[in-house]
A = this chain, B = another copy of it.
Amino acid sequence: MTASHPPFRVLCLPGSLRRDSWNRRLLWAAAAHAPATLSLELYEGLGEVPLFDEDSARTRPEDLAGVDALRSAVAAADGLLIATPEYNQSLPGVLKNALDWLSLDSPQGEVLEQKPVAITGASTGPWGTRLAQTALRQVLHACGALVMPTPTLFVASAASRFDADGRHADEALAVSLHRMTTALDRWIAQLRPETRDARPVCG
C-alpha cells in the first residue's frame, strides 16, 4: 500500500523521436496504468535538444533553448521514467545526447544528481531492449541518478502488446506497468530529501 501524498510529478522521456514509436506508446500506457499518487507527463521536446557541443555551450547560449527547457523540466520533476528503444545494442544517440547535456553543471545544478529514475523499454523483436537498458543504466549511474533496481521491465514483441490507438497495454503488460510505477512511487518517496532527513540515525 502506497502512502497517501500529493501526486509526485514524473517526467517521461521517450528515447525515440518517431511519433508512433513503441516507447512513446509504452509511456502512454504507463500513465494509464499508474497509481493515482503519480502524475506522469510525457516530454516531447527531445528533438529540440541540439547536438552536444561545448563550444556552443560557451559561445552561443541562445542556441540552447531546447537544453534549458529539458533541464528545467527535469529539475522540476520528482522523478523520471525513461523508455528506450535499442539501436545497435545500446541506447539511441538522441537519448544519450540529451543525457550528456543534462550531466553538465548549470545554474540549476547537475539536475540528474540524486534524481530518482526508472527505466524500461520496448522493441518489436524478441530481446526487449536488454542491452539498451543495461547501457542506459550505466550512463545514468555515471550521471549520479538514483536508478530504481527492480522491478525491471523489458517489453519484447511490442507490436502485439498495445491496443489499436496505442494508449493502453494488454492485460499482462498493464499489470507489469502498474507494478513498476507503484515501485517508482515508493522509490521516490523513500529517496526524497525530507524523508532522508527524517530518517533515524543509527549508532
> Which residues of A come within 8 Å of B, CB atoms?
16-19, 46-47, 49, 51-55, 87-100, 103, 131, 135, 138-139, 141-143
| A96 B92 Cβ-Cβ under 8 A | yes
Residues of chain B within 8 A of A90, CB atoms compared:
90, 96, 135, 138-139, 142
- Shortest distance in angstroms between A29's beta carbon and chain B's nearest beta carbon? 21
| A53 B18 Cβ-Cβ under 8 A | yes
Contact of A51 among B47, B53, B91 (CB under 8 A): B47
What would 17 more interface pairs be, CB under 8 Å, given A93-B96, A93-B98?
A: A16-B54, A17-B51, A17-B53, A18-B54, A19-B55, A46-B51, A51-B94, A52-B94, A87-B96, A87-B100, A89-B142, A90-B90, A93-B94, A93-B100, A94-B100, A96-B97, A131-B138
A46, B143: Cα distance in complex, Å: 24
Interface centre among A47, A88, A135 (most CB of B within 10 A): A88
| Residue in chain B with minimal CB distance to A93 | B97
Residues of chain B within 8 A of A89, CB atoms compared:
138-139, 141-142
A141, B103: Cα distance in complex, Å: 27
A88, B139: Cα distance in complex, Å: 5
Residues of chain B within 8 A of A55, CB atoms compared:
17-19
User: 24 pairs across A/B with beta carbons < 8 Å?
Assistant: A16-B54, A17-B51, A18-B54, A47-B51, A49-B51, A51-B51, A51-B93, A51-B97, A52-B93, A53-B94, A87-B103, A88-B99, A89-B138, A89-B139, A89-B142, A90-B138, A90-B139, A90-B142, A92-B96, A92-B97, A93-B95, A93-B96, A93-B100, A94-B100
